[in-house]
Amino acid sequence: MKKGTRKHDEMRNHYDFSGGIRGKYARRYAEGTNVVVLDPDVARLFPNRDAVNETLRAVGEIVQIQERTRHRANKRIERTQKTRRSS
């Protein structure tokens, strides 16, 4: 069964926006959203969003620690190389 098409693209009379608030969700929309769909096996490990966020924060801290450690190690290597060159 085919639906009929409307000839005029106007708002119908029975719509009532008198109780609406202009821009109610504008700020939230502007902030954006980051929806990620987990694979079923991964989703089973995380019962809720708090578990996901806590785990991602912990992983983020580990990554930052590794980057700082790697940065320090590179500085030590640079100092050692400069010392050897000047000798």
What's the confidence (pLDDT) of residue 1?
Answer: 55
Whether 82 is in a domain gets the answer yes
Between 15 and 61, where is the model more confident?
A: 61
Q: How far is CA 71 from the centre of its chain?
A: 26
**1 is written with which tokens?**
């069964």
Residue-wise pLDDT tens digits, 32-79: 878 888 999 999 999 999 999 999 999 999 999 999 888 787 777 776
Half-sphere exposure for 31 (CA within 13 Å, toward CB): 6
Segment 8-36 shows an average pLDDT of 84
Report how many domains make up the chain: 1
What's the confidence (pLDDT) of residue 3?
Answer: 64
| Domain extent for 66 | 47-87
Q: Are 46 and 52 in contact (CB under 8 A)?
A: yes
Whether 13 is in a domain gets the answer no
Q: Is the pTM of this model over 0.85?
A: no
CA-CA distance, 63 to 79, in Å (whole number)? 24
